[in-house]
Structures are given as structure tokens and as C-alpha cells.
Structure 1
Amino acid sequence: MRTRTTALAAVGALLLLTGCGAADMTRQASPFANAQGARTVTLSVQSWVGAQANVAVARYLLEHELGYRVDTVQIDEVPAWDALSQGRVDALLEDWGHPDEEQRYVEDKKTIARGGDLGVTGHIGWFVPTYFAKKHPDVTDWKNLDRYAEQMRTPESGGKGQLMDGSPSYITNDKALVKNLDLDYQVVFAGSEAAQITQIQQFAKAGKPFLTYWYAPQWLFKKVPMTEVKLPAYKEGCDADPEKVACAYPHTPLQKYLNADFARSGGEAAAFLKKFKWTTEDQNEVSLMIADQKLSPEDAAQKWVEGHESTWRAWLS
């Protein structure tokens, strides 16, 4: 879920910013740029639907309960840290762990402030469909994966079993894991979260086996039940060298970050975003409405807000 971006890609992403707030580069593109004294907030939103769910609900409440006008910027995770540091966005609501950026901007430069725990724990892993795991229980131990490599082959996997990943921009340990665990598999990128979901659904509809990189929380588990393959246990530091990784992914409490100036002087909006904290079930509920039921993010947020006042009212106090 974490993303790796080259310097060129980072520049390209920043040029696509349409945010407002303190973003000097984007003032002309912002619908709020010339609104004197306007109460505005710019939120960074990542490409996966869970992050979109966070922003949708935060935006709805900022606009309808606190009277702010909200702009959003879709930008990959690493460039988002740069944008947050420079004030081009005010808040990032779902970070999966970037210790280098945290050290640089939070500890050293102090241009980004911690915004607190989102309340959701993220986990990346390898998964097989539960219908296949029930027939072949041993497939859930990585040591037995090669027994099923032939059944996992696809035209794209070059005669090996396919390990399906999402976007090539995501930071994954999968190529190193396949190599270091000496597995007869080839990592194949679907291209995006949406493309990966489509492929998973197609495999499931046909009842075919598959092995995929996937993550929780994610609404798709409700539609296509999947069972995690147990990789060698994660221990602190086992993934320090990307080339030598031979362990599972960690469980990561997802965090929020705010531009430091905004955190100090952002008034009700900053206070609200610091208090914004919900559950995996909450996030999945909104994600399912957006991705599966095809509601707009605003309509999904409104529906969730109408049914969960006891949860969000505390964020405004």
C-alpha cells in the first residue's frame, strides 16, 4: 500500500495538484484562492478506496457541520509528504508508515505534525481465495506454495505461478520474498487497485485459484473471502534491507499527519482532524458504498454520517 515514486514522478504528481489552502503553486487552480477570509482546508487523498472513504467523511463533516470549504488533492504517498511539509496540502489522513519521511519532516524539519491514530490497523499479506484454502488447507503455509505453482500459472507469469500485485508504484517486498524464499512464482502487476480487484473478481467468478498481494482493511473481503498465507514471522528490523527481506509484512496502526502551521493555527478544522478516529468496520462500510455500490464519495459519506451520529459527534466537541 505504501508507494515508491521516482523524483520525476513526484514532480509530475505535484504539477497535477489542484489544492488550495497555503499552496502558492496552486492558487490559480484553486476554486477558493481568491476568497478573502474563507475557511478552507485541503486534504490529500490516496488512490485506494479506504483512503478515499476517510477523506469523503472528513470533507462532508467539515463542510456541513463546521462550515469549511474543502479541496482535495490525489497524490501518491511519498510526494504527499513533500506537499504536506510545504503547505500545499493541510492534512494526510492515512499513512501506512514512512519512517524516513517522518524523521525528516516531523523530527528534523518540524514542518509536519503528528495528527494521531486513525483507529484502523493496516496489514499487507499474501492471500488465496478461501474456497481454495478449504480444499487445500496446506496452501496457507508458504512452504507449500510451490505444490500449487502450476495451478497458479497465467499467461503473464512465464511458466511460473503468478503472484498478483497491484500498482507498480506500491512499495512491496514481494520480488525479494519470492527470490529469498526460493519460490517458483513470478510477481505480475495488475496496474492499479481497481485492475487488481477486477482480476480477483474474475478469478473468483470462475472458481479459479490465485495468489495475490492484498491488504486490510479492504471492502473486497466481504465479496471475495480470502485467507492469508503465513509467511515467516515478522520481527522488528527483518525488512530493513529491501534486498534481503524474507519475512511477513507488519501490522501497522495507520496514522494521520498535519502540516505543522495548520496544526497550530487551523482552528476548528485542525482540531476536528486530530479527533477524527474510526474503526475498520466504519471505513469498510463507506468503501463498500463507493467501490461496490457505486455511490459518489459525497453520497456515501452522507449515508454513513446519517447513521453514525454518536461516532462523529465526538470529533466536533
Structure 2
Amino acid sequence: MNSKPIRNSLIAATGVAAMVALSACGAAETGSKGSDGKEITLAQPNWAGAEANIAVAKKLLEDELDVKVEVKQMNEAAAFKALDGGQAEALLEDWHGNPNEIKEFVDEKKSVVSGGNLGVKGHIGWYVPKYYVDKNPDITDWKNLNKHAKDFETSESGGKGQFIGADPEYSQHDKGIIENLKLDFTHVPSGSEAAQQKEIERLYKAKKPFLTYWWTPQLLQNQIDLVEVKLPEFTEGCNEPVEKADCGYPQVDLEKFLNAEFAKGGSDAAEFLKNFEWSNADQDKVVTLMKVDKLSPDAAAEKWINDNKATWEKWLPKK
């Protein structure tokens, strides 16, 4: 799961001009330049699964439906704003970590609509390595974390256990969990998925204890043996606001979201994206081709497409 936004610095005059232009547009503000489905923009959060979705969707849209596809990397919150403003037509993987954006753009403005489930089931959790669990089996219950906190202490954790946090832009409420469950741990953000994975792999190779935010599906789970720590059960609203969160994470049916005008436009591209639905195993296969076999996203998508015609043919609009 995981995302990185596009950050641009604009001079003040440009910003003012843009605001004037948007004001002049009125109702067109939430329109979609790709509403006819001939040229569309897909918002891509920067984790491997999202990259796999985009790689396959882009190649099929271009090769089978003659749609010109642009990909823009941005986090989920930025993607909802782009969908609202018509700067993007679709977000293919949302982890339901942005309730404010859902409320504003989906429920209230109705400028963004659900495109249906992606088919992939996701879960975020806290994980420790199995070799530590083998020696300390009670660590899998959060109530025993403080008992073992000293084992996780590092030079960065200020005398407490270190919790390896995710990229700050990922869906998370770990600081709230640590604070509200009174855990003797310090949240130390890793900065990026790549940096976090590198640190996990380093510690795992050295057989050292670590406690980390992680998620499935993610290729790392196929390479190292992690065990989830049971946190208090997620209930609706228990993580809102995140500062008061006192629960774990839910199982999530990952969802697609579309610009409303694009979704209602009746184009082949919109119908295809609504139909796009695959499994954890499908996504994992493309991620493996990219990250383990080192194929380019386009080459990985092509190989999966060649091997799975019966799956993707169902996504094509009926003629």
C-alpha cells in the first residue's frame, strides 16, 4: 500500500492566474478532460501493487481499446482532489485511509464515484519476525509489547522500543495506537517504502528483533517470515481522529474511484476500468515480475496479459 505525491513550486503570479481561471470555469471545475474516454489520466500511488494495477490497465487500454493513457504519481489524498478537479479520471487502488476526502468528494460533492472493488483484499498490521516469536510467543498480543520493549530499543528510539513506521503519506494511525494504548515504543518513520523494506531486510538478515508497520499483499511477505501482532479489533470510527486511535486495522476490499463525469460518460475506457477486477495472486504475479525478475512495468504487464487472457477479456466492453 502504500504513496508519494507530486510536489511543485509555483510562483505567486501563476497561482493567482490559476485561481482566477478556475473561478471562471464555474461548474466545469469538477469536469474531466477525459470524459469521452479517448485520452485519460490514471493516478498512481507509489507502491508496488498500485504500479502493477496501472501497468496492466494502461497496456490493455492502449492496445485493445486505442485509449491514450497518461500516468501521474500521487498519494491517495491528492488523487481524490485530482479526480474532483478533472486532472485524473481514475484511482485504481484505495485503502480507505482518507475518510475526509471520501466525505467531501464522494458523499457531499459527488464529483467522485466508486468504480467498484479492485478484487484485491488488503490488510495493514504490526509485524515481528518469526524467529523472535519462536523465542517469545507472547509477543503476538499487544498487551505484552511493553514487557519486551527493551529488546526493540535502538539509538533512535530514546530509551523505548522502536516501532518502524511507514512512509508518512501511507494510511496509518500508529502514533495514536502507541499513545492511547500507552506502549513503551517510539514511532520512527522510515521515509519511504523502499527505505522501510531495506531496514526490515537488514534486521531480518542479522536476526535482530523489530516491530514494524507492514501490509499484505506485498512481495516481502513471500520472502521473509513475519508474524502479525494482534491489536485491539478495528471498529468503525475507532481511528478517527488518528490522534485518538486505539485499535488495529481492518481487512479492506481495495476500491477503485473515478471522476463522476468520466464514469457516467459511457466510454469504453470507463467501462473497462469499472470491470477491471483481479485477485491478490494476479497482482502479486505482476509485482514479482517487476521487482524480482526486474522486468519493466510494460514488459511485466505484457507477460501477465499473454498468460491470462481468460481473465482480462472479461474486462473489455461488450460490443
Say whether the fold is shared (TM-score over 0.5). Answer: yes
* 2:8 corresponds to: 12
Q: Distance in 2 between matches of 1:14 and 1:221?
A: 41
Q: Is the contact made by 1:219 and 1:285 (CA closer than 8 Å) also made in structure 2?
A: no
Where do 5+ consecutive residues of structure 1 fail to align? 16-23, 26-36
1:37-56 CA-partner distances (Å, limit 9, x unpaired): 99322110001111111101
Q: Alpha carbons of 1:268 and 1:13: their partners in 2 closer, same or farther (altered >3 Å)?
A: farther
Pairing 1:40–2:39 present:
yes
Change (3 A) 1:57 1:46: same
Q: Is the 8 A contact 1:13 1:76 kept in 2?
A: no
Q: SS of 1:131's equivalent?
A: helix
Any conservation in 1 of the 2:95–2:171 contact (CA below 8 Å)? no
| AA in 2 matched with 1:212 | T
Instruction: Provide the residue aligned with 1:101 in structure 2.
Output: 101
**Structure 1 residues 68 and 2 mapped into 2: Cα distance closer, same or farther (>3 Å)?**
same
Deviation of 1:279 (Å)? 0.8
Cα RMSD, aligned residues only: 2.3
Contact 1:50 1:284 (8 Å CA) reproduced:
yes
The C-alpha deviation readout for 1:177-213, integer Å capped at 9, x for no partner, is 1111111111111110011111111111111121000
The separation in 2 between residues aligned to 1:299 and 1:270, in whole angstroms, is 24
Q: CA deviation at 1:266?
A: 5.3
Give deviations 1:259-282, integer Å, cap 9, x for gaps: 111112251111000000011111
Does the 8 Å CA contact 1:14/1:83 hold for their aligned counterparts? no
2:126, 2:211 within 8 Å by CA — same for their partners in 1? yes
| Aligned-pair CA distance for 1:11 | 6.5
Q: Which residue of 2 aligns with 1:234?
A: 234
Distance 1:245 1:106 in 2: 24
AA paired with 1:285? K
Q: CA deviation at 1:2?
A: 6.9
Cα distance, 1:99 vs structure 2? 2.7
Does the CA-based 8 Å contact 1:166-1:195 persist in structure 2? no
The aligned residue for residue 294 of structure 1 is 294
Match of 1:68? 67
Q: 1:13 to 1:148 in 2, by over 3 A?
A: farther
Aligned residues: 294
Give the secondary-structure state (helix, strand or coil) at the position aligned to 2:70: strand
| 2:29 matched residue in structure 1 | none
Give the aligned partner of residue 268 of structure 1: 268
Kept after mapping to 2: 8 A contact 1:48/1:193: yes
The answer to whether the 8 Å contact 2:2/2:46 transfers is no
Q: 1:265 to 1:252 in 2, by over 3 A?
A: same
Q: Which residue number in structure 2 is paired with residue 20 of structure 1? A: none
Structure 2 match to 1:90: 89
CA distance, structure 2, for counterparts of residue 260 and residue 55 of structure 1: 20
Write out per-residue CA displacement over residues 65-109 of structure 1, whole angstroms, 9 at most, x where no aligned residue.
212221100011111111111111111001111332222222322
Q: Where does 1:1-317 land on structure 2 (aligned, <5 Å)?
A: 1=1, 12=8, 39-97=38-96, 98-265=98-265, 267-316=267-316, 317=318
Alignment check: 8 A CA contact 1:141 1:229 kept: yes
- TM-score normalised per structure 1: 0.86
| Structure 2: distance between partners of 1:243 and 1:107 | 24
CA distance in 2, matches of 1:265, 1:257: 15
Change in Cα spacing, 1:63 to 1:76, as seen in structure 2 (3 Å) is same
- AA aligned opposite 1:60: K
Q: Secondary structure at the match of 2:205?
A: helix
Aligned partners of 2:263 and 2:236: how far apart in 1?
31
User: Cα offset for 1:294?
Assistant: 2.1
SS in 1 for 2:65: coil
Q: Give the alignment's TM-score, normalised by structure 2.
A: 0.86
Structure 2 unaligned spans of 5+: 12-20, 23-35
Q: Which moved more, 1:178-187 or 1:285-294?
A: 285-294
Identity of aligned residues (%): 47
